[in-house]
């Protein structure tokens, strides 16, 4: 069995994901339930409700210290536990600009307010805000919390990096890294390959899919020697993601064999 670990753009399973992005030009870390997108919007929960907790000692980027992060997690646990059997659905949180923002959809805003206020009784040293707004279309979830295509690429990168790390990979040791992209026409694929070759990539394969329903039947496998630490692989994959889009294609993912230092 091959020991190459790959990422791809298949549909996510019902689970929570975390990613780094920008919100209102500020760096942000978003934790979101991507699984609930399968049923969003939920007609019986038309109200967006939120609790904003102000970080007491944010760093220069607006994020809490590790110690304070643990305290904010405790507040989150109290809040979600108290609403678990109620009429509110926890969909995600944003940490940015000196705040941790918890977002729910509900049909009982009064119940949410009561639960949020009770949760903050366990942390009287914190300033906080509780509010709600009509959002029957779940725009805040779909437009703000839910990852973009680029964000999903970052999430997939982290999954592969984690598996490589767990297998003992050094991550920083340069090695051949495989990348995969798909295109609607052979001409698009060839123009992409030409552009990628200028960045040092070699076209290792040009498979073609025979499924008539495939939007992008012309695939290509690229290879280049790189390390696979998070900063490097994010930069590389975002570049290829955009390059594939410029040539009317899609970037599918990347893979690497495990490389252990001796």
| DSSP string computed for the chain | ---EEE---PPP-SSEEEEEEEETTEEEEEEEESGGGGTPSPTT--EEEEEEEE-SS--TTSPPPHHHHHHHHHHHHHHHHHHTTTTEEEEEEEEETTEEEEEEEES-HHHHHHHHHHHHHT-TTS-EEEEEEE-TT-HHIIIIIS--HHHHHHHHHHHHHHHHHHTT--SSS-EEEEEEEEESSHHHHHHHHHHHHTTT-EEEE--B---TT-S--EEEEEEEEE---HHHHHHHHHHHHHHHHHTTEEEEEEEEE-----
- 194 occurs within a structural domain: yes
Is the pLDDT reported for residue 3 higher than 60?
A: no
Does residue 199 surpass a pLDDT of 80?
Answer: yes
Tell which of 145, 173, 190 closes a domain.
Answer: 145
**pLDDT tier at 262, thresholds 50, 70, 90:** low
For range 181-206, the mean pLDDT: 97
pLDDT at 4 > cutoff 60: no
**pTM of the complete model:** 0.86
In a domain, 25, yes or no: no
Confidence band (pLDDT; 50, 70, 90) for 213?
confident
Per-residue pLDDT tens over the stretch 55-112: 999 999 999 999 999 999 999 999 999 998 788 999 999 999 999 999 999 999 999 9
Return the higher-pLDDT residue of 188 and 5: 188
Q: What pLDDT was estimated at residue 11?
A: 36
The verdict on 132 and 192 lying in the same domain is: no
Within a domain: residue 262?
no
* pLDDT tops 70 at residue 5: no
Domain hosting residue 73, numbered range: 35-145
pLDDT in tens, 158-193: 999 999 999 999 999 999 999 999 999 999 999 999
Per-residue pLDDT, 13 = 46
Domain end call among 91, 120, 145: 145
- pLDDT value of position 252: 95
Check residue 12 and give its pLDDT.
37
Greater pLDDT, 85 or 4: 85
Say if 138 falls within a structural domain: yes
Predicted confidence at residue 261, as pLDDT, reads 75
Same domain, 133 and 175: no
Query: What is the average pLDDT score of the chain?
Result: 92
Same domain, 230 and 193: yes
CATH number, domain with residue 248:
3.30.70.970
């Amino acid at each position: 069995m091959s020991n190459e670990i790959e990422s791809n753009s298949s549909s996510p399973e019902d689970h929570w994901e975390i990613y780094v992005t920008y919100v209102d030009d500020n760096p942000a870390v978003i934790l979101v339930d991507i699984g609930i997108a399968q049923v969003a919007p939920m007609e019986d929960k038309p109200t967006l409700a939120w609790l904003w907790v102000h970080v007491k000692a944010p760093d220069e980027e607006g994020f809490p210290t590790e110690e304070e992060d643990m305290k904010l997690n405790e507040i989150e646990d109290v809040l979600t536990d108290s609403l678990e059997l109620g009429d509110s659905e926890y969909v995600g949180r944003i940490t940015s600009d000196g705040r941790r923002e918890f977002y729910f959809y509900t049909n009982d805003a009064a119940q949410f307010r009561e639960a949020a206020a009770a949760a903050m009784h366990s942390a009287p040293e914190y300033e906080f805000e509780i509010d709600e707004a009509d959002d029957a279309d779940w725009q805040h979830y779909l437009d703000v919390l839910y990852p973009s295509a680029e964000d999903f690429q970052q999430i997939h990168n982290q999954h592969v990096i984690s598996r490589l790390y767990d297998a003992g990979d050094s991550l920083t040791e340069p090695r051949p890294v495989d990348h995969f992209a798909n295109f609607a026409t052979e001409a698009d694929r060839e123009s992409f390959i030409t552009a990628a070759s200028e960045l040092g990539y070699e076209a290792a394969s040009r498979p073609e899919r025979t499924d008539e329903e495939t939007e992008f039947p012309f695939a290509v496998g690229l290879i280049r020697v790189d390390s696979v630490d998070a900063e490097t692989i994010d930069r590389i994959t975002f570049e290829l993601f955009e390059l594939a889009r410029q040539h009317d294609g899609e970037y599918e993912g990347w893979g690497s064999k495990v490389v252990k230092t001796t």
